[in-house]
């Protein structure tokens, strides 16, 4: 049910690109937030063109209007993808993560609470030469705080990364 939109959260785990392309090719309106500064504008434009061929709309993390576009997309029943295994802003919520502490973005919980859209943690794994996508039950925002909702999301991220640590591709510091 996409009436409230869906915040699809994942990690830099296995081939996360396949997930977005799959949903877009199935006809779902998909918006993914991507950073522009880290990889540089040239690389951002390349990824935007590449992902756009499959129908994925890329929103630059650094632009203010992206926040408005995310709210509009969710209000219109669209999917917003947020890869949330690292905090690029430096203003995230610090939580336990693999026996240490790490900062996680506030965005998924913020948009979930503001719009009523559930967070669905989804992943792709490779088994026997095939890719398989799977999702955890939705995390509903009702009665949650940003910290409690983020904690639930982080537990799922930790569980999935822990199953497949060799497929976790995060090339920037995570732990505090």
List the pLDDT tens digit at each of the 176 positions of the chain.
578 999 999 999 998 788 888 888 888 999 999 888 776 788 888 888 888 888 889 999 989 999 999 999 999 999 999 999 999 888 999 999 999 999 999 999 999 999 999 999 999 998 888 999 999 999 999 999 999 999 999 999 999 999 999 999 988 888 88
Rounded to a whole number, what is the distance in angstroms from the first to the last CA of the chain?
37
Residue 102 and residue 88 in contact, taking contact as beta carbons nearer than 8 Å: no
Distance CA 103, CA 4 (A): 27
Distance CA 26, CA 8 (A): 16
**Matching residue, tokens 């965005």:** 107
pLDDT at 50: 82
Nearest CA to 87 out of 71, 70, 107 is that of 107
**Matching residue, tokens 């061929």:** 53
């Amino acid at each position: 049910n996409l009436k409230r939109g869906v915040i699809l959260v994942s990690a830099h785990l296995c081939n996360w690109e396949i997930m977005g392309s799959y949903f877009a090719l199935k006809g779902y309106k998909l918006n993914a937030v991507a950073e522009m500064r880290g990889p540089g504008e040239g690389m951002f434009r390349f990824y935007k063109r590449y992902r756009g061929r499959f129908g994925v709309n890329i929103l630059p993390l650094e632009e203010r209007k992206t926040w408005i576009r995310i709210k509009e997309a969710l209000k219109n029943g669209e999917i917003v993808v947020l890869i949330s295994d690292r905090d690029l802003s430096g203003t995230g919520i610090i939580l336990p993560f693999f026996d240490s502490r790490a900062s996680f973005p506030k965005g998924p919980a913020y948009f979930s609470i503001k719009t009523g859209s559930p967070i669905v943690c989804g992943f792709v794994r490779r088994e026997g030469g095939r890719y398989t996508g799977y999702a955890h039950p939705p995390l509903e925002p009702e009665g949650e705080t940003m910290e409690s909702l983020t904690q639930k999301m982080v537990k799922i991220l930790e569980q999935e990364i822990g199953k497949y640590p060799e497929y976790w591709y995060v090339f920037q510091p995570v732990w505090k």
